[in-house]
Chains A and B, each alone.
Chain A
Amino acid sequence: MDGAISVWMDVGQLDDIPRLGSRVVTTPAIDIALFRTADDRVFALHDRCPHKAGRLSQGIVHSESVTCPLHNWVIGLADGQAKEPDEGCARTVPVRLEDRRILLAVGGA
């Protein structure tokens, strides 16, 4: 999707993701993990931990972070940054909510 023009794609509704939970949107290039916080905000990251590619969608979500299931790195949902003392970054994907519908930026034509 790199470099391509993004379009907003409707991928589902807010309640499809449990609070403090995650769902995955698959794309030809990579899986994207969507997260829902306790206060109903939604974030999207590439579903690959910067450490050893653990699936962040399978982690435990807390506040604005997710803990990777493989070795417990804590990744910020908003910026994809690993929290101290770890270093690394998961790619973020723009996502927004419109009337409880989830719109995800995906590479267009």
Chain B
Amino acid sequence: MNMIAPRRSRLILVGNGMAGVRALEEILSRAPHEFSITVFGAEPHGNYNRIMLSPVLAGEKTFEAITTHPRSWYEENGIELITGEQVVGIDRVAKTVTGELGTTRPYDMLLLATGSNPVIIPVPGHKLSGVIGFRDIADVDTMLAASKSGKHAVVIGGGLLGLEAANGLARNGMDTTVLHLMPTLMERQLDPVSAELLKADLGSRGIKVITEANTKAILGDERVEGVELADGTRLAADIVVMAAGIRPNIALAKECGLACGRGVRVDDGMLTSDPAIYAVGECVEHRGAVFGLVAPLYEMAKIVADRVTQTADSDYVPAVTGTRLKVTGIDMFSAGDFMGDENTDDVVFRDAARGVHKKLVIRDEKLIGAVLYGEARDSAWYFDLIRNGTDISALRDTLVFGPAAGTGGEALGVEALPDTAEICGCNGVSKGTILTAISKFKLATVDQVRSRTKASASCGSCTCQVESLLAHALGGDYDATPKVKAVCKCTTVGHDTVRKAILAQKLKTIPAVMQAMGWTTPDGCASCRPALNYYLLCAWPGEYVDDSRSRFVNERMHANIQKDGTHSVVPRMWGGVTTSAELRAIADVVDRHQIPTVKVTGGQRIDLLGVRKEQLPEVWRDLNAAGMVSGHAYGKALRTVKTCVGSEWCRFGTQDSTGMGIALEKMTWGSWTPHKTKMAVSGCPRNCAEATIKDFGVIATESGWDLYVGGNGGIKVRVTDLLAKVTTEDEVLEYAAAFMQVYREEAWYLERTAPWVERVGIDYVRARLSDASGRKLLQGRFVEDQRYAQADPWAERAAGTDAHEFRALATVE
């Protein structure tokens, strides 16, 4: 006799997006083996965090970084994933679904999560190529491509999506205009006063906003060329982004006869009009409401999971949601009824100079709505008062000053919140849940909290609060037990542990470190080997033999690799000063080696681009002959020291900033550091050398020099902190050397000074450098190290070192 195994119930998810996949996660956590699951997704990828498309567009995150469920996740969970195929038919009688390529699968239970579509306003020209919505990664790619080939962007719609699109387009260098039909921006989230502040903030980022703009037509033959407004205004446009709202995607549900209104109608248990079909996400309509933020969708995912696994008969209850705009540097929050009416009172706080505006709306001694603009750090507290309908009569006097008011002490942060307060709005995670998880699972890092509770896993705006909760929960332990961030996947030990062990156990080679610390791979990976190589180099100067096999290609070749496999060569130009002889020599090198591009860098020197690998030693030899050495533009090393003209020429200059910069560069060049290190010296507080966004910045004053540290241009701009004020040039050099050395000895590999200073605190750095004898010791170690480091790598290679790097092994004719 055949044994008949009970067949697993077949579950099909249509729509591989945020709500649907969250529902699967919830289902798998309740009943990992109950269903055999198939997922159909129209997009060609696994699942990603759609919210984060805005940071991807703005260049702050990569697509890889926002992928939440790669294909491996589906495999590990035994889920069949069919991507790039839209479902076009549901046969509710036969219980099958069919995709556009003909793939058919039977189901016992069907889950619809088809999301929504951008509303494309049907003005003339709306079908032209270059008119798009902002919904998926393909839209982001289209916008990025447009920013490369075109100059002008128009965004129709001044709501959350439109403004995030505009910010991203502007960040990519496009001249961007937002057209908004209403008199004020984000009118569904902001009161008119905050909306004006927002408009001004956007203006300062180069984004133009036209309100009460009625789009009449989109102009162009095949591709979009412009936009015409009802008042006759014409704007040039290489791309038009329609962000005028979203509409539930119900085509499929309608076609198979499910009850639909604006969305697919569901009951409190997320069941549609067919008892075998559930729906979640933006495609649904629940009690007449449709949705546009993830928090309610995640709640729906829980309900549907309870129902299909028959764990509980839970019901979906609508809740207030809060909104934040994800434009880096703009802090805003809005929730509830923030406009009010004749039965409400407003409490308003305004500090125009700081660009802060807060409006609280109170009815019957309860907070029912809030808008915070320019300073939103107390948003969780207000949001909690709104959601719980707390009686605020006792707090009313100081309500607008946040939870810290009236305590007379330091600003209170998350400690002041009750356990029920929601910390992560997207995922609905409360303070209590986070604290319980921290103590129960002994969590010590934000990453651990994130993977355990999902707090801060979606839009990320609550990361700071999660961090404070950790700090608060672990108390004294938090600082004592540094967040253990493993060096890489080959090990569980963190950077500090490795650095200490290298010194304490006198470990002097990469294999020795790996063995002593129990690495799980035989020879590490591309993340840990460069880190260990640096740590050893820093620990044993003059003794450790650099392992070129553990250097990233740029540092191994002493030139930056370009996308076509050629290299760039940047000679040092001390303090940005050059001579006719140097320029002539550079010109000769360019002609002799037929170098295609010569460019002035953002670091005050000259870049020769497009040099082939085998040409490098020759190019270097010629530059060396004219007295020029490597600029280390490729290294986790001292890069440039930018300067301004200073007192030698400038009518405002108070000290010789150029000379100071050259002295700094002569002292520090060649030094390897955890990440790249940049310096600048300005001759007066006008700060033309931008010293306040450098790792080490110097600004001359009438009486001496102000020293600043921990600045960063780049991805996340950070302004320096003042380290000290000194009077002589020797002191500047002493502090610079000592600062470099603490950073070299204590920071983690690939951590620039800015995140390092944030991690250890500026007070710690000041303390390490304020004591004269400690400072001298650090300076001594730096100078000693430089005895070995200041050898021009180009000269060495022009003379034959690593010759094999630059030559083919053999040539087959």
Contact at B561–A25, with CB atoms within 8 Å? no
Residues of A within 8 A of B3 (CB): none
In angstroms, Cα B530 to Cα A26, docked, is 28
Shortest C-beta distance, B519 to chain A (Å), equals: 11
Contact at A27–B804, with CB atoms within 8 Å? no
Contact of A12 among B522, B526, B554, B810 (CB under 8 A): B810
Question: Does B565 lie at the interface of the complex (its beta carbon under 8 Å from any beta carbon of A)?
Answer: yes
In angstroms, Cα B562 to Cα A53, docked, is 12
Question: Does A92 lie at the interface of the complex (its beta carbon under 8 Å from any beta carbon of B)?
Answer: no
Contact at A60–B812, with CB atoms within 8 Å? no
In angstroms, Cα B70 to Cα A81, docked, is 17
Shortest C-beta distance, B485 to chain A (Å), equals: 18
Contact at B810–A18, with CB atoms within 8 Å? no
Contact at A23–B526, with CB atoms within 8 Å? no
In angstroms, Cα B813 to Cα A58, docked, is 23
In angstroms, Cα B808 to Cα A58, docked, is 12
Given contacts A38-B523, A67-B526, contact A26 B553 (CB under 8 A): no
Contact at A62–B524, with CB atoms within 8 Å? yes
Nearest B residue to A72 via CB reads: B526
Nearest A residue to B71 via CB reads: A85
Residues of B within 8 A of A69 (CB): 552-554, 561
Question: Does B411 lie at the interface of the complex (its beta carbon under 8 Å from any beta carbon of A)?
Answer: no
Question: Does B525 lie at the interface of the complex (its beta carbon under 8 Å from any beta carbon of A)?
Answer: yes
Q: Mark A47-58, 1 if CB is under 8 A from B, else 0.
A: 000001111001
Question: Does B715 lie at the interface of the complex (its beta carbon under 8 Å from any beta carbon of A)?
Answer: no
How many chain-A residues does the 8 Å CB contact rule pick out? Answer: 37
CB interface residues, B 545-591, toward A, < 8 Å: 548-550, 552-554, 556-557, 561, 563, 565
Residues of B within 8 A of A45 (CB): none
Question: Does B529 lie at the interface of the complex (its beta carbon under 8 Å from any beta carbon of A)?
Answer: yes
Question: Does B67 lie at the interface of the complex (its beta carbon under 8 Å from any beta carbon of A)?
Answer: yes
Count chain B CB atoms within 10 A of each CB in A24, A26, A62, A106 and give the residue with the most. A62
Contact at A58–B553, with CB atoms within 8 Å? yes
Given contacts A23-B804, A58-B557, A60-B529, contact A85 B809 (CB under 8 A): no
Question: Does B521 lie at the interface of the complex (its beta carbon under 8 Å from any beta carbon of A)?
Answer: yes
Question: Does A80 lie at the interface of the complex (its beta carbon under 8 Å from any beta carbon of B)?
Answer: no
Contact of A25 among B67, B548, B808 (CB under 8 A): B808
Contact of B812 among A34, A52, A106 (CB under 8 A): A106
Residues of B within 8 A of A20 (CB): 523, 549
Question: Does B72 lie at the interface of the complex (its beta carbon under 8 Å from any beta carbon of A)?
Answer: yes
Contact at A28–B72, with CB atoms within 8 Å? no
Residues of A within 8 A of B46 (CB): 85
In angstroms, Cα B525 to Cα A17, docked, is 19
Contact at B526–A62, with CB atoms within 8 Å? yes
Contact at A63–B812, with CB atoms within 8 Å? no
In angstroms, Cα B548 to Cα A98, docked, is 27
In angstroms, Cα B548 to Cα A55, docked, is 17
Residues of B within 8 A of A78 (CB): none
Shortest C-beta distance, A37 to chain B (Å), equals: 8
CB interface residues, B 679-734, toward A, < 8 Å: none
Q: Mark B4-24, 1 if CB is under 8 A from A, else 0.
A: 000000000000000000000
Question: Does A99 lie at the interface of the complex (its beta carbon under 8 Å from any beta carbon of B)?
Answer: no
In angstroms, Cα B802 to Cα A18, docked, is 10
Shortest C-beta distance, B41 to chain A (Å), equals: 16
Count chain B CB atoms within 10 A of each CB in A23, A38, A58 and give the residue with the most. A58
How many chain-B residues does the 8 Å CB contact rule pick out? Answer: 32
Question: Does B149 lie at the interface of the complex (its beta carbon under 8 Å from any beta carbon of A)?
Answer: no
Question: Does B343 lie at the interface of the complex (its beta carbon under 8 Å from any beta carbon of A)?
Answer: no
Count chain A CB atoms within 10 A of each CB in B525, B529, B553 and give the residue with the most. B553
Q: Mark A32-76, 1 if CB is under 8 A from B, else 0.
A: 001000100000000000001111001111110001011010100
In angstroms, Cα B563 to Cα A27, docked, is 21
Contact at B67–A26, with CB atoms within 8 Å? no
Contact at A17–B809, with CB atoms within 8 Å? yes
Contact at B563–A28, with CB atoms within 8 Å? no
Q: Mark B199-225, 1 if CB is under 8 A from A, else 0.
A: 000000000000000000000000000
Contact at A26–B812, with CB atoms within 8 Å? yes
Contact at B553–A25, with CB atoms within 8 Å? no
Given contacts A23-B809, A34-B809, A70-B561, contact A16 B804 (CB under 8 A): yes
CB interface residues, B 609-647, toward A, < 8 Å: none
Q: Mark B530-548, 1 if CB is under 8 A from A, else 0.
A: 1000000000000000001
Question: Does A84 lie at the interface of the complex (its beta carbon under 8 Å from any beta carbon of B)?
Answer: yes
Shortest C-beta distance, A109 to chain B (Å), equals: 12
Contact at A27–B812, with CB atoms within 8 Å? yes
Question: Does B594 lie at the interface of the complex (its beta carbon under 8 Å from any beta carbon of A)?
Answer: no
Shortest C-beta distance, A104 to chain B (Å), equals: 8
Residues of B within 8 A of A23 (CB): 804, 808-809
Residues of A within 8 A of B812 (CB): 9, 11, 25-28, 106
In angstroms, Cα B596 to Cα A80, docked, is 33
In angstroms, Cα B548 to Cα A100, docked, is 23
Contact at B565–A55, with CB atoms within 8 Å? yes
Shortest C-beta distance, A46 to chain B (Å), equals: 13
Residues of A within 8 A of B552 (CB): 60, 69
Contact at A59–B526, with CB atoms within 8 Å? yes
Shortest C-beta distance, A88 to chain B (Å), equals: 13
Question: Does B811 lie at the interface of the complex (its beta carbon under 8 Å from any beta carbon of A)?
Answer: yes
Contact at B522–A63, with CB atoms within 8 Å? yes
Contact at B563–A18, with CB atoms within 8 Å? no
Contact at A18–B526, with CB atoms within 8 Å? no
In angstroms, Cα B70 to Cα A63, docked, is 24
In angstroms, Cα B528 to Cα A62, docked, is 11
Contact at B526–A25, with CB atoms within 8 Å? no
Residues of B within 8 A of A31 (CB): 808
Nearest A residue to B64 via CB reads: A85
Shortest C-beta distance, B59 to chain A (Å), equals: 15
Nearest B residue to A61 via CB reads: B549
Contact at A25–B810, with CB atoms within 8 Å? yes
Contact at B553–A16, with CB atoms within 8 Å? no
Residues of B within 8 A of A85 (CB): 46, 64, 67, 70-72
Question: Does A19 lie at the interface of the complex (its beta carbon under 8 Å from any beta carbon of B)?
Answer: yes
In angstroms, Cα B72 to Cα A26, docked, is 36
Contact at B809–A12, with CB atoms within 8 Å? yes
Contact at B525–A67, with CB atoms within 8 Å? yes
Given contacts A11-B809, A12-B810, A25-B809, contact A70 B804 (CB under 8 A): no
Nearest A residue to B549 via CB reads: A20
Contact at B809–A16, with CB atoms within 8 Å? yes
In angstroms, Cα B488 to Cα A67, docked, is 14
Query: Can you give 13 contacting A-B residue pairs, CB < 8 Å?
Result: A11-B809, A11-B810, A23-B808, A25-B810, A25-B812, A28-B812, A38-B523, A58-B553, A58-B556, A62-B524, A63-B522, A69-B554, A85-B64
- B residues sitting closer than 8 Å to A (CB atoms) are 46, 64, 67, 70-72, 521-526, 529-530, 548-550, 552-554, 556-557, 561, 563, 565, 804, 808-813
Closest 7 CB pairs of A and B: A67-B526, A85-B70, A23-B809, A11-B810, A69-B553, A58-B553, A60-B526
List 13 additional contacts besides A16-B804, A58-B565; criterion CB under 8 Å: A9-B812, A17-B809, A21-B548, A25-B810, A58-B553, A60-B530, A60-B550, A61-B549, A62-B523, A62-B526, A63-B523, A84-B70, A84-B71
- A residues sitting closer than 8 Å to B (CB atoms) are 9, 11-12, 16-21, 23-28, 31, 34, 38, 52-55, 58-63, 67, 69-70, 72, 74, 84-85, 87, 106
